[in-house]
Structure 1
Amino acid sequence: MLLSLDEQPANATVFMEDKEFPMPYYFPTNGLSASFRSPYIPSTFVVSKHGKIVYKKEGLLIIAQLLFATGLLSKLSQGSLEIIKSNSY
C-alpha cells in the first residue's frame, strides 16, 4: 500500500499509474498518525496483520533490506520468532 500526501492527488495518481505500481495507493484526508510521520521521502513501513509496525526504514530502501524485514515478518507469523519490545518506534 502506498500513502501519498501530495497536494495534487491527480498528479500522484498519474505518476503511480505510469510506474504500474501493483499495490493500492491512498491519499489520507486527515493527515497521518504520528506513527507514520517522517521527514524522509520515501519512508517504508512493514505492518503486521495486527496493525503493529514491525519494520520502519526512513529514506531510500535497498531491496535487500525489505526482503530481510519481510522474512522476519514471515517468521513472526509462523511463531518462530519473537519481537523484543523496542521504544524506537
Structure 2
Amino acid sequence: MTWEDIRSNWQHALSDLKARFPLMDHTTVEAPPETLVALTHHIAERHDLTASEALEEVKDWIFIVSLARIASEVGHEFSDQ
C-alpha cells in the first residue's frame, strides 16, 4: 500500500488510523495530509513520539493493513473455488 492509496481512500484509512492512533486531532486530519511526513509529524506530536518513532509506527500500520488486504484477497480466492 502506498501513500497515494491511503490518500485516495482517506475516510477508510482515517478510521483505521484513529483506531491505531487515538490521540490524533480529528479536525486536523479530516482531509488527508499532503505527505506521509506531515501525517507522521502530527502523530508524533499528538502521541509524544519522535518523528522517527512515529514514522516507524505508521510504516508498521501500513504493513499490517497491507497484509490484511492480501489475506482478504487470498481468502476470497479460496472461497470462490
TM-score computed with the length of structure 2 as normaliser: 0.31
Pair member with larger Rg = 1
Which has a greater percent of helix?
2
